[in-house]
A and B are shown apart, each in its own frame.
Chain A
Amino acid sequence: MIAGLALLLAALSAGASQLRNRGNSSAPIVMDVYSDFQCPACKALYERTLVPLSYDYIDRGKVYLVHHEFPLPQHAHAMEAACYACAASRVGKYEQVCELLFRRQEAWATDGKVDETVCSILTPAEARKVRALAKDPAVLAEVNQDIQAGHSAQVSQTPTVILTYRTKQYRIPGGASYDILRRFIDQLLAN
């Protein structure tokens, strides 16, 4: 019975984490992104790569983006931000919260006002729900599951991007330009 309950919890957790993914799950390329909301390089990846990638590949069903929260221990507010983002995914506002957390990274990373930042784009009802969910052990477990997945994938830094195409995995160097990444994705798709 305990095993059954554990399986049910794992299935529910997996279902919840899918709310943070983007695109067609049967797309030829799966892109796993391990990211920390307080990391400046993750902000750069989000703004310079993931946003244009959405238009060019994700929305066209060529790439399936899998978000993994990977808050680093040295970032004081990263865990809280990850929990709020996961909680926001449950009210269908993950993308908006991601965009906001990265855009205002410098401010909340300094003053620690994660709650205020996230709730500024939510309706009062959503804000109440997200606040409660952000402290829910199930959401914390979801974030911890992502961290564990990162450790299993030997993630040691953020952002880490892993592309999977036909069972072959490619670790994408952080900080590279979107143009070269696009060339690489096009080359994979042309094969």
Chain B
Amino acid sequence: MRYFLMVLRLALAAVFVYAAYTKLRQPWLLFAMSIDAYQILPEWMALWLGRTLPWLELALGLLLASGFGLKYAAAAASVLLAVFLTVMARSYAEGMKIDCACFGLGEVISPVTLTRDGVLLALSVAVTILAMRKGRTTSVAA
């Protein structure tokens, strides 16, 4: 179980680090434009998220990779992925043909991107549950 959890969290960490990398390698205003295209948030918040969200993804990726504060990092990653999935599903349902901005630009929201995000969310929830169970087992044993 320990190794299984490690494999899952490392896979999730790699996804978060890669997602952050694809956003940080391009001007942050391009990512802000992608967020703005969802037409959910006011412009100032799209600009603020455009600057900060890639760093949050990077921090979560590094925390997941290191295993430090795992249950909190995994829970935060699950919440973030759930928000992404909800927002993407809403835009897709409304027929908006916009970039998902998941891994850089040029990928329109589609059943493929929605399925991928759903799989990542399931993975993240699994890591969260396993990390919490492990924490509980450790504290009971102590």
Contacts A41-B97, A157-B97, A187-B27; is A176 near B33 (CB within 8 Å)? Answer: yes
Is the Cβ of A174 less than 8 Å from the Cβ of B37? yes
Q: A75 interface residue, CB < 8 Å from B?
A: no
Is the Cβ of A156 less than 8 Å from the Cβ of B29? no
Mark contacts of B24-53 with chain A using CB atoms, 8 A cut-off: 1 yes-contact digit, 0 otherwise: 001101101110111100010011000000
Number of A-B contacts (CB under 8 A): 56
Please indicate the chain B residues that have their CB under 8 angstroms from the CB of A154 in the complex. 106
Q: A91 interface residue, CB < 8 Å from B?
A: no
Is the Cβ of A173 less than 8 Å from the Cβ of B98? yes
> Which residue in chain B gives the minimum CB-CB distance to A188?
B27
Q: B99 interface residue, CB < 8 Å from A?
A: yes
Is the Cβ of A157 less than 8 Å from the Cβ of B46? no
Contacts A180-B43, A180-B46, A180-B47; is A173 near B99 (CB within 8 Å)? Answer: yes
Is the Cβ of B33 less than 8 Å from the Cβ of A173? yes
> Which residue in chain A gives the minimum CB-CB distance to B105?
A171
State which size class the interface on A falls in: 10 to 19
Q: How far is the CB of B31 from chain A (nearest CB, A)?
A: 8
Is the Cβ of A171 less than 8 Å from the Cβ of B29? no
> Which residue in chain A gives the minimum CB-CB distance to B37?
A175
Please indicate the chain A residues that have their CB under 8 angstroms from the CB of B27 in the complex. 170, 184, 187
Q: B96 interface residue, CB < 8 Å from A?
A: yes
Q: A122 interface residue, CB < 8 Å from B?
A: no
Is the Cβ of A181 less than 8 Å from the Cβ of B106? no
Is the Cβ of A171 less than 8 Å from the Cβ of B106? yes
Please indicate the chain A residues that have their CB under 8 angstroms from the CB of B43 in the complex. 177, 179-180
Contacts A154-B106, A156-B108; is A175 near B29 (CB within 8 Å)? Answer: no
> Which residue in chain B gives the minimum CB-CB distance to A171?
B105
Q: How far is the CB of A166 from chain B (nearest CB, A)?
A: 13
A132–B101 Cα distance when bound, in Å, is 44
Please indicate the chain A residues that have their CB under 8 angstroms from the CB of B108 in the complex. 156-157
A144–B74 Cα distance when bound, in Å, is 50
Please indicate the chain B residues that have their CB under 8 angstroms from the CB of A181 in the complex. 33
A177–B39 Cα distance when bound, in Å, is 9
Mark contacts of B2-44 with chain A using CB atoms, 8 A cut-off: 1 yes-contact digit, 0 otherwise: 0000000000000000000000001101101110111100010
A151–B141 Cα distance when bound, in Å, is 62
Is the Cβ of A172 less than 8 Å from the Cβ of B33? yes
List of 5 A-B pairs having minimum Cβ-Cβ separation, nearest first: A176-B33, A175-B37, A184-B29, A173-B34, A173-B33
Residues of A within 8 A of B (CB): 41, 154, 156-157, 170-177, 179-181, 183-184, 187
